[in-house]
């Protein structure tokens, strides 16, 4: 439920940040104030959005099992993720073209993440290259990088070499839950700004006879032939930990362990790639060690 301060605002009016007290408030303000194309891209999912809606409702079925009479005067929720210290068990997940929301885009996300002691995973489709995002962070502060493997493998090889050489990138999140572009109908209905760019992606944003689908425009180059046999190739390109983002079954989690990846993320791409997608809907991370 929106706060009283938000309910009193005009349709296109942004409230002071202090008036936003939960994530629902953020979503409501975004729906009313950001460009229609940006809202369509970020809020929509594949086809009938059944999986997207199921993902959201899944969180409503998570309940705490409280244990009482513990000393909670001082609580420490620091964790380590892929060897990197974090102030709390959250990280900024990769999302394309944050500049659609604010001119600083991923630069602002980087500053915000560092200010709270968490890590940003920068999208392959970020609005800025890593060489412009990393200087926003304190010296030596870690980031993660999300990779879509290009059909032109040499381009992915070149990109990974550059990312590795930066030194600040501490993990590569290889996206495996979107081998083809999803049918995001709401995204298709609104024309895209053809001046948008993804400097680390191989994308040409444009409108065509099918519509203005931004997801389709930026994802057309993704290699749908990527298989388990390609993991050694990826491993040969970098000494940075490799994470498979998009595991959805125990069988594939076991295969990931056997392939020697460093971690997996359970994900169905937010239901944005394929509707009614698999059976695991709560994104978590599992360290690729030991037995399942």
Known catalytic residues are 269
What backbone torsions phi and psi does residue 42 show, to the nearest 5 degrees?
-75, -30
Measured between alpha carbons, how far is 184 from 275 in angstroms, rounded to an integer?
10
Measured between alpha carbons, how far is 271 from 49 in angstroms, rounded to an integer?
7
- Which residues pair with residue 92 across a beta bridge? 120
* Conformation bin of residue 69: beta by default, left when phi > 0, alpha when psi is -120 to 50: left
173 token code pair: 């999140």
Measured between alpha carbons, how far is 205 from 197 in angstroms, rounded to an integer?
7
Measured between alpha carbons, how far is 83 from 176 in angstroms, rounded to an integer?
23
């Amino acid at each position: 439920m929106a706060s009283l301060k938000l309910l009193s605002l005009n349709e296109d009016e942004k409230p002071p940040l202090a008036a936003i007290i939960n994530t629902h408030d953020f979503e409501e303000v975004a729906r009313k104030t950001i460009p229609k194309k940006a809202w369509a891209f970020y809020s929509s999912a594949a086809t009938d959005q059944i999986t997207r809606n199921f993902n959201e409702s899944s969180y409503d079925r998570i309940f705490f099992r409280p244990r009482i009479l513990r000393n909670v005067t001082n609580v420490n929720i620091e964790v380590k993720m892929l060897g990197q210290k974090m102030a709390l068990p959250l990280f900024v997940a990769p999302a394309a073209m944050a500049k659609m929301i604010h001119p600083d885009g991923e630069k602002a996300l980087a500053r915000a993440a560092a200010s709270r002691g968490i890590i940003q995973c920068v999208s392959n489709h970020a609005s800025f290259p890593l060489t412009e995002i990393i200087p926003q962070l304190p010296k030596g502060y870690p980031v993660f990088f999300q990779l879509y493997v290009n059909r032109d493998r040499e381009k992915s090889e070149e990109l990974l070499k550059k990312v590795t050489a930066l030194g600040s990138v501490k993990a590569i999140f290889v996206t495996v839950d979107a081998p083809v572009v999803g049918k995001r109908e709401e995204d298709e209905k609104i024309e895209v700004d053809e001046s948008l760019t993804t400097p680390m992606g191989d994308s040409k944003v444009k409108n065509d006879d099918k519509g203005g689908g931004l997801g389709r425009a930026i994802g057309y180059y993704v290699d749908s032939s990527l298989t388990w046999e390609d993991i050694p190739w990826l491993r040969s390109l970098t000494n940075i930990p490799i994470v498979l983002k998009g595991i959805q079954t125990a069988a594939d989690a076991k295969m990931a362990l056997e392939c020697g990846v460093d971690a997996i993320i359970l994900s169905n791409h937010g239901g944005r790639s394929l509707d009614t997608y698999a059976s695991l809907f709560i994104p978590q991370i599992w360290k690729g060690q030991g037995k399942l």
